[in-house]
Structures are given as structure tokens and as C-alpha cells.
């Protein structure tokens, strides 16, 4: 049962990362990094919720899924904010054939 809930948190994190990646212009950044950040954050926040609330990881809870999604959203926003500071904001030139 523990594996099932962790897989659920990862799935929610990846889904949130995918949707967040569609709304944010990544400017050439690999979107899989955002998916990974959201998935890891969802697992961490979901586990933290279960520890602090005393529900336990073996119980499937809608609240833990909601908190995992919120954690993934926050992580993806922070990830894109940090990455935006380190990438070039110059306009792209289109590649032309010779």
C-alpha cells in the first residue's frame, strides 16, 4: 500500500509538472527537469503531510494528494523562477538553410 501511495504522489507531481510546463515558456530548457522537480516535491510534501498529520502513509487520503499537488505546483513555480534567472533572454534566431 505504501508503494501505491508514493506512485500516486509521483503521478500527481508529473502531471502538475506537465501542465505547468505547458503554461510556462521554458526557452529551450528540458521539460523533463521540471517534471522531475515536481514529482520529487510531490513525494516530499505528501510524506511531510502524512508525518505531521499522523494519518500514516499506508492510508490513501485525498488531503495528502491535494497537499502533494500544492507542493508540486510550488516547486515548479520556484524551479521556473530560478531557471529564468540563469538562461539567456535574447531573442532566438531562426535557423535557415544555406
Residue 97's pLDDT is 67
Residue 77's pLDDT is 81
Residue 96's pLDDT is 67
Tell me what the pLDDT averaged over the chain comes to: 77
Report, in this order, helix, strand and coil percent for the chain, each rounded to 5.
70, 0, 30
Radius of gyration in angstroms for the set of CA atoms belonging to the chain, rounded to a whole number:
17
**CB atoms < 10 A from the CB of 36, how many?**
17
How far is residue 26's CA from residue 62's CA, in Å, rounded to a whole number? 31
The closest of 89, 77, 70 to 28, measured between CA atoms, is: 89
Residue 25's pLDDT is 61
How far is residue 62's CA from residue 40's CA, in Å, rounded to a whole number? 19
Counting as low any pLDDT under 50, the low residues of the chain are: none
Residue 88's pLDDT is 60
Residue 93's pLDDT is 59
pTM over 0.85: no
How far is residue 42's CA from residue 60's CA, in Å, rounded to a whole number? 15
Amino acid at each position: 500500500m505504501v508503494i501505491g501511495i508514493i506512485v500516486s504522489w509521483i503521478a500527481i507531481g508529473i502531471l502538475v509538472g506537465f501542465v505547468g510546463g505547458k503554461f510556462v515558456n521554458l526557452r529551450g530548457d528540458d521539460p523533463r527537469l521540471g517534471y522531475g522537480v515536481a514529482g520529487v516535491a510531490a513525494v516530499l510534501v505528501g510524506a511531510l503531510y502524512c508525518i505531521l498529520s499522523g494519518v500514516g502513509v499506508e492510508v490513501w487520503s485525498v488531503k495528502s494528494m491535494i497537499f502533494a499537488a500544492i507542493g508540486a505546483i510550488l516547486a515548479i513555480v520556484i524551479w521556473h523562477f530560478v531557471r529564468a534567472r540563469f538562461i539567456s533572454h535574447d531573442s532566438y534566431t531562426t535557423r535557415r538553410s544555406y
